[in-house]
Structure 1
Amino acid sequence: MNRKTTALTVGAVTAGVLAAGSWFGYQHLEQQVSPGEALRGYDATSPASTAPHTENVFTGRVSAFEEQRELQSWTSDIYRVEVISVLRGNIRGTVRVTYAPDEEPRPRLTDGETYVFATRAWDDTTLKDAHAQLFKGPMKPVDHDQLTAWKQAAALPQTQPR
């Protein structure tokens, strides 16, 4: 075999090994990441995983659906929410909460119902007093078991925003 053939063979084998290794590595990582983690870096369907990324965890009564708006390439519903009790943070009064559920059809929160909200304030000045809902699991009216899970999650240390 001459040098040119040897170099081409070694290059082709190396490229094949790198491609196969990348594919198997991707498959391995894909199995470990739930759909809610792909863009967020945490499991957004778990209170214990979501709570450390929040500024506020609170129960709030939905006063009204305000509008639907495109925010950072996500279609978000904006609700007016009256804060009932605070599990983490210092949120008070009535606030606006943006909620962009991952599933279709997009479920709406029910006016007058009380839910647990896990939020971080928006930096965008066009959304004055708005907080982004970080939890993307099923939003059900609050019950004892759900409240207990969120109280435990809210006691976990906060992560620093990136």
Structure 2
Amino acid sequence: MNYQVVTKTVTAQPLAVVRRRALSRDVGRIWQPALDLVWEYLRRQEGLRADGHNCFLYHHPAQRDAAMDIDFGVQVIRPFEGEGEVICTETPAGEVAMNTHGGSYDKLAAAHSAIHAWRAASGRAFGGCSWEIYGDWSDDTTKLETQVIYLLR
């Protein structure tokens, strides 16, 4: 897939999340139970979610292969008081580099690689976190869209 990396300035987006500490290779194993807790909470909170999507916020460690904090969550319309493991956080505000991945999630790494290649070519520096916003679900994987976003310094 040919990815077009664009830069833009974004505002912070509140999220309802469950935070886990893990290696990037473990995300596929741990995201579902964490996200299930968030959705269970949101079903009890009238008016907190409009049409927000699932969002995974990665807090990158100084050493690339180290464990990191990962917020598995859902976009919400306002800040809130958390309950149990569900907490309120937000995506960072600022300048970002981003692209959109179309298709199966198992090919999502290519979208990240495209942003890393763009960063190397542009000489820009990452700002310590990235996030993925998952579009509406479809059983037809050709209709899936995921935004991949990296904060820039």
Same fold judged by TM-score > 0.5?
no
Structure whose residues are more often strand by fraction: 2
TM range (shorter): under 0.3
Tell me the TM-score normalized by structure 1: 0.22
Structure whose residues are more often helix by fraction: 1
Structure showing greater relative contact order (alpha-carbon pairs closer than 8 Å, 6 or more residues apart): 2
Tell me the TM-score normalized by structure 2: 0.23
Which is greater in Rg? 1
